[in-house]
Amino acid sequence: MSSTDITSGKSTRLAIVIPCYNEEEALPLTVARLTDIIGSMVGDGLVSSDSYIMCCDDGSRDATWRTIRNLHASNPMVRGLSLAHNRGHQYALLAGLMTVRNECDAAISIDADLQDDPRAMIEMVKRFREGAEIVYGVRRSRQSDTWFKRTTARGFYRFQHSMGLDTVYDHADYRLMSARALELLSSYGESNLFLRGIVPQIGLTTAVVEYDRNERVAGESKYPLKKMLSFSVDGITSFSSRPIRMIFYVGLGLLIADIATAIYVLLSWIHHDVEPGWTSLMLSVWFLGSLILMALGIVGEYIGKIFIEVKHRPRYAIKEIIK
Ligand code: UDP
Ligand code: MG
């Protein structure tokens, strides 16, 4: 569908997908802003007038769903879906993308807090109309983030790359995907979802649009450090077996060190200068103990993943859809 659009110059039917968790404060502002942007793109003939905004309520505890319903009542561009329970940003986003995939030419995912400049959507749609099927929104600056968030985020990307993950630097989940890219995404059936790792694997023609990152319009971050850390571990163990290999190398190195130590101990024993080695004994016990625990932790992480995957549970459950 999308390719005929481009050649015929027909405008694109765009769906904007917003995962929302406790966003009752931010949503009205966000939807108003996005409605304006769609309006201006309709005016410029970039997108068609049946473009829409899909708000995915990720089992919020506040009045987010009621807010979405009210917005829908007053604004025909607003659609909504409500997940049966809170599954996390990635799953809410996937639920939204899979719901809109047959009813759009392209979908843009964006957070409810408008930290990602929505004006970049215009460039994204232009790149799409020039033939790109996946357009990554990439942060030009992170001035508005706290020093702590900036540093941990940078560490997160570096670590991912050193672990062999093919993510796009400074790209979060603000991106455009064509209907075809969404179709391909739908065939990735993994339960441990890390879209930033999956999407670059889809292939197709890609493009990058830079934008400035702002403050949240309202509400507070749903990604404290604890969640960021677990997200990072998930990202790595879902895509790379390098940690397992690293443990093997550490084990190998220790084995060599062990042999050397054994030779030294034997030689000392032969020369009768054996000390009552309590210190070295305790040190090695603690050292080895912690190493073993670390290795077990990593192995356990993978086994946990296998456990989740073999169950083939549904990745999200939709309670209600409003169109
Ligand atoms: N979100 C979600 N489910 C969750 C947590 C967050 O759908 O369990 C949504 C949230 O409403 C927002 C987006 O994911 O639209 C990103 O969250 P947030 O802005 O709090 O993260 P940050 O930008 O601070 O990393
Ligand atoms: Mg945010």
75 — pLDDT class (breaks 50, 70, 90): very high
Strands 134-141 and 78-83: unpaired
62 — pLDDT class (breaks 50, 70, 90): very high
Q: How far is it, in rounded angstroms, from Cα 94 to Cα 133?
A: 17
Q: How far is it, in rounded angstroms, from Cα 199 to Cα 206?
A: 10
Q: Whose CA is nearest to atom 7 of ligand 1?
A: 89
Nearest to 206 by CA among 284, 275, 128, 316: 128
Q: Is 114 in the pocket of ligand 1 (CB under 6 A)?
A: no
pLDDT digits (tens, 9 = 90+) for 256-314: 877 777 787 778 777 776 667 766 776 677 778 777 877 887 887 888 788 778 777 77
Q: What is the ipTM of this complex?
A: 0.95
What does the block give as tokens for 194?
């890390």
Q: How far is it, in rounded angstroms, from Cα 222 to Cα 271?
A: 64
pLDDT digits (tens, 9 = 90+) for 81-127: 999 999 999 999 999 999 999 999 999 999 999 889 999 999 999 99
Q: Whose CA is nearest to atom 24 of ligand 1?
A: 221
Residues in the chain: 323
Q: Name residue 181's amino acid.
A: A
Q: Is 219 in the pocket of ligand 1 (CB under 6 A)?
A: no
Q: Is 216 helix (H, G, I), strand (E, B) or coil?
A: coil
Residue 201 host element (H or E): helix 195-202
**Residue 283: its pLDDT value, please?**
65
Task: Please tell me the pTM assigned to this model.
Answer: 0.79
Atom of ligand 1 nearest to the CA of 221: 20
What does the mean pLDDT of the chain come to?
85
The residue to which tokens 């077990």 are assigned:
296
CA 90 to chain centre: 6
Strands 206-212 and 134-141: parallel
Q: Is 21 in the pocket of ligand 1 (CB under 6 A)?
A: yes
Q: Is 222 in the pocket of ligand 1 (CB under 6 A)?
A: yes
Q: Is 82 helix (H, G, I), strand (E, B) or coil?
A: strand
Cα–Cα distances in angstroms (integers) from residue 270 to residues 15, 256, 257, 263, in the given order:
79, 21, 20, 11
Q: Whose CA is nearest to atom 17 of ligand 1?
A: 222
Atom of ligand 1 nearest to the CA of 18: 15
Report domain 3-222+314-322's class.
alpha beta
What does the block give as tokens for 35?
């409605």
pLDDT digits (tens, 9 = 90+) for 231-263: 788 777 777 777 777 777 787 787 787 777 778
**Which residues neighbour ligand 2 (ion) by CB within 5 Å?**
111, 113, 115
Starting at the earlier edge strand, list the strands of the sheet with 171-178.
206-212, 134-141, 171-178, 106-109, 14-20, 52-57, 78-83, 318-322
Nearest to 184 by CA among 169, 195, 173: 195
Strands 52-57 and 78-83: parallel
**Residue 278: its pLDDT value, please?**
65
Q: How far is it, in rounded angstroms, from Cα 86 to Cα 257?
A: 49
**Residue 282: its pLDDT value, please?**
67
The secondary structure of residue 83, as a DSSP letter, is E
The secondary structure of residue 10, as a DSSP letter, is P
Q: Is 173 in the pocket of ligand 1 (CB under 6 A)?
A: no
